[in-house]
Amino acid sequence: MPIPDYQSLMRPLLNAASKSVGQTSVRELTIDIARSLRLSEADLTEMLPSGRQSLFVNRLNWAKSYLTHSGAIEATRRGYFCITNRGRSLLGAAPERIDLKILMQFPEFEIWLTAARQGTAKPTQNVEPQPAEINPEESIDQSFSELHGANCVDLLDRVLAASPTFFERMIVDLLLAMGYGGGSLERGLLTARSGDGGVDGIIQEDALGLDAVYIQAKRYAPGNTVDRPALQAFVGMMTGEGAGKGVFVTTSTFTNGAKAYIEKVQQRIVLIDGKAFAELAVRHNVGVRVRQTYQLKELMKTIFLKSFRSTLQGLP
């Protein structure tokens, strides 16, 4: 039988997790779920086009990802998870099927999915567009946008769960990946200073260290905005150091007052909020890795035009 899509696998995965004692993993549940769905050995060995993973396991992992963001299951350690009270309630409330429309009842899932799908052509409410609505290339673009958005949201969540030093190191790595300091690791460093206004990192833009970019990082929770006093402290530090360039990065956002203030100072300071930071990090492969590359190809029209003209010239 055809392998079910990832939404059709949500309930079987959640049901299998409910029968496990303690934490479990997709790998441990694969065989039991396959048996409950009466999948054949051929079904289980069907691979993705990349050949790196089975289609069934890939779809199970996608089902797990969405269930995790809905709060139906929670991660316990890398690769392992357990069902939550919400997940058990969901099994009783949705005996036939659990899909994206069902999960949209949970506010945190709706927020996550909306953030993940920012920039897509389709509105968030249309979680299951009909195949006839979009062509294959549009479908690829939409899927890429959703994957990109989900990576940005997940990366920011991981940064918030890590240490401040981890965030600071990521900023230095990102600026190096963007070409600052010539991309040389030796030209980017973290500092040992602490306290408000203290510089968290420095990137030497040239080999002689004649010009430097000073970095300030604020790992704030969403809703805890960076206001003008924080920027004033940073500007004061830069003035004391004789620095002319700076980058202020936060996982949250900046107040309008902070933005207005930074436009008036003599130093050239760039403000990067959490959304922009995540976008840049994913774009420049900082904190993420390339899993698979796809190339969209089209026929070279010039070759066919030349061939067509030659054919015409040969006609009587």
Predicted structure pTM score: 0.65
For residues 44 and 51, give the distance between their C-alpha atoms in angstroms, rounded to a whole number.
Answer: 13
Q: What is the pLDDT of residues 256-305, one digit of tens each?
A: 999 999 999 999 999 999 999 999 999 999 998 887 777 777 666 566 66
Q: What pLDDT is recorded for position 208?
A: 64
Q: H/E/C letters for each residue in the chain?
A: CCCCCCCCCHHHHHHHHHCCCCCEEHHHHHHHHHHHCCCCHHHHHCECCCCCCEHHHHHHHHHHHHHHHHCCEEEEECCEEEECHHHHHHHHHCCCCCCHHHHCCCHHHHHHHHHHCCCCCCCCCCCCCCHHHCCHHHHHHHHHHHHHHHHHHHHHHHHHHCCHHHHHHHHHHHHHHCCHHHHCHHHEEECCCCCCCCCCEEEECCCCCCCEEEEEEECCCCCCCECHHHHHHHHHHHHHHCCCEEEEEECCCECHHHHHHHCCCCCEEEEECHHHHHHHHHHCCCCCCCCCCCCCCCCCHHHHHHHHHHHHHHCC
CATH of domain 163-283: 3.40.1350.10
Tokens 């060995």, residue located: 45
pLDDT(134) > 60:
no
pLDDT band at 128 (very low <50, low <70, confident <90, very high): very low
Q: In the 3-class helix/strand/coil scheme, how is 25-55 assigned residue by residue?
A: EHHHHHHHHHHHCCCCHHHHHCECCCCCCEH
123: confidence class by pLDDT, cuts 50, 70, 90? very low
- Segments of the chain assigned to CATH 1.10.10.10: 1-112
CATH topology for the 1-112 domain: Arc Repressor Mutant, subunit A (1.10.10)
Q: What is the mean pLDDT of residues 210-238?
A: 91
CATH 3.40.1350.10 domain locations along the chain: 163-283
What pLDDT, on a 0 to 100 scale, did the predictor assign at position 316? Answer: 56
Q: What is the mean pLDDT of the chain?
A: 83
Q: 72 pLDDT exceeds 90? A: yes
Can you give the pLDDT at residue 184?
59
Q: Check whether 131 has a pLDDT greater than 60.
A: no
Mean pLDDT of 240-255: 93
The pLDDT assigned to 138 comes to: 63
The Cβ-side half-sphere exposure at 91, using a 13 Å CA radius, reads 17
pLDDT in tens, 5-48: 999 999 999 999 999 999 999 999 999 999 999 999 999 999 87
Q: Is the pLDDT of residue 133 over 60?
A: no
Share of the chain above pLDDT 90, in %: 48
Instruction: Report the pLDDT value the prediction gives residue 117, as an integer from 0 to 100.
Output: 73
